[in-house]
A = this chain, B = another copy of it.
Amino acid sequence: MSIQGLGQIVKRCCCRTGRRAVWMAPNLRGVCNARPQETKTTFNMARLVLKFGGTSVADLDRIRNVARHVKREVDAGHEVAVVVSAMAGQTNKLVDLCKQASPLHDAREYDAVVASGEQVTSGLLAMVLQQMGVNARSWQGWQVPIKTNGTHGAARIKEIEADFLVERISQGQVAVLAGFQGISPENRISTLGRGGSDTSAVAIAAAVKADRCDIYTDVDGVYTTDPRIVPKARRLERIAFEEMLEMASLGAKVLQVRSVEMAMVHGVRTFVRSSFDDPDAPQIGEGNLPPGTLICDEDELVEQQVVTGIAFAKDEAQISLRDVADKPGVAQSVFGPLADSSINVDMIVQNISPDGKTTDITFTVPETDYDRAIAVLEDNRDAIGFQNLEGAKDVVKVSVIGIGMRSHAGVAAQCFRGLAEKGINIRAITTSEIKISVLIDSAYTELAVRTLHSLYGLDG
């Protein structure tokens, strides 16, 4: 942890609460060259939001374990809000009931049914905390209130009136919040969609101006790539918001994409850690946190590597339209009907026309939408005016991600050379400031990911 980072926290705490506690930093590390040593300094307690997912609260033993994590932070003098998911399996059970009740069920009623899972967990955790002597109280989305738009089943948080929550937690009462839910403009329970509890946690952290949002999950952080494919994958100590956004949306399923977007927009420092850590291990101050990954502003990154990680997404399908007339409005004629059918298009590649008359357009869609996309395009064949339609489901998008590549040349060339040396054919390429994505045959997934992981010096 850098002194700079710590200073920032202390400053933020001071201006908000003025409460003080003696802080011991036994293991102070960082880029500032401060030597690791026992340092006694004044420490202002932090305001933390802790989020626990479904597997972390799967039964009462695990809920007790969660409560010990919470108690540790309370005992350390922090102000704590907790966000919980439904007990593992419970949401699926409720979703099944809805499907049985009516295949095309009303999303408003679905939300009322499904949100009950988080309601149960929040109450149980508050009880367990109370029994451990921790002052705690549960709150549902409508009580806070966490105001969302009216898109039931996939609502977006519009506003959180947090004064009330801040008052409670600054009085030392742990707020146990039901994740995944809010209240719609029509005074109905709304849910944020699967995995929405991450978003709840980050949004609440932003609203109460928390110093950190700790996401307890079943992995101990964000890795340079999927360790199941690359055993040499390393856990990242820190990752910038922008990088995490690319990692999350490209298949590293540690955090929901929307929660990372929200963390980035509001600058919520988000720490991903394992809920299976010993909850009673002392963790006084950020210098002594257990293994995990801090998602933060790039200013806080300890060492900037050119490439941070390799992500891949297997659930993509490729569609290519051959010999499309190269005239204004043709892209609209292709992607307009797809958008009207709610098909999400990801990579889009259109090269300049070799003859000035026709061109090829290649793009990817979610594999589950592939058949529907083909049908939509065939229906619009005359309007679009393509000669051939080709497609492939057995493709994978592999991405090289790193905020450092903004200031380093040759990163892309290195990627293409590396893949070529292994005989991997690239179907399409797209790039952004901080990533290079290539579409390849899915049979080469492991080979490509391992090759790139080594190539950019990520092997642990």
Contact = CB atoms under 8 A, between A and B. Distances in A.
Contacts of A187: 143
Interface string A112-151: 1101110110111011101100000110101100000000
A97 interface: yes
Contacts of A128: 101-102
A92 to B, nearest CB: 14
Closest CB pairs A-B (n = 10): A113-B123, A116-B116, A112-B123, A102-B131, A101-B127, A109-B123, A102-B127, A105-B127, A109-B126, A101-B124
A98 B124 contact: yes
A342 interface: no
A124 B130 contact: no
A106 interface: yes
Given A60-B97, A143-B187, A113 B102 contact: no
A110 interface: yes
Given A106-B127, A130-B106, A142-B142, A112 B122 contact: yes
Interface of A: 60, 63, 94, 97-98, 100-102, 104-106, 108-113, 115-117, 119-120, 122-124, 126-128, 130-131, 137-138, 140, 142-143, 187-189
Contact of A109 (B108, B127, B188): B127
A119 B126 contact: no
Given A112-B140, A143-B187, 19 more contacts: A94-B120, A98-B124, A98-B127, A102-B131, A105-B130, A105-B131, A108-B138, A109-B123, A109-B124, A109-B126, A109-B130, A110-B127, A112-B138, A113-B123, A113-B127, A116-B116, A116-B117, A116-B119, A119-B119
For the complex, would chain A's binding face be called helix, strand, loop or mixed by DSSP majority?
helix
A164 to B, nearest CB: 10
A102 B138 CA distance: 15
Contacts of A104: 131
Given A60-B101, A102-B131, A127-B101, A120 B116 contact: yes
13 contacts: A97-B124, A98-B123, A101-B127, A102-B128, A102-B130, A109-B124, A109-B130, A110-B123, A111-B123, A112-B122, A112-B123, A112-B126, A113-B120
A193 to B, nearest CB: 17
A439 B30 CA distance: 82
Nearest to A121: B113
Contacts of A112: 119, 122-123, 126, 138, 140
Given A60-B101, A100-B60, A120-B94, A109 B131 contact: no
A140 to B, nearest CB: 7
B113 A119 contact: yes
A175 to B, nearest CB: 13
Instruction: Identify the interface centre among A63, A111, A117, A189: most chain B CB within 10 Å of its CB.
Output: A189
A110 B110 CA distance: 23
Nearest to A104: B131
Nearest to A101: B127
A77 B137 CA distance: 46
A361 B106 CA distance: 62
A111 B143 CA distance: 14
Contact of A126 (B60, B106, B115, B122): B106
Contacts of A119: 112-113, 115-116, 119
A80 to B, nearest CB: 17
Contacts of A101: 60, 63, 124, 127-128, 131
Nearest to A131: B102
A162 B169 CA distance: 35
Nearest to A187: B143
Contacts of A97: 60, 120, 124
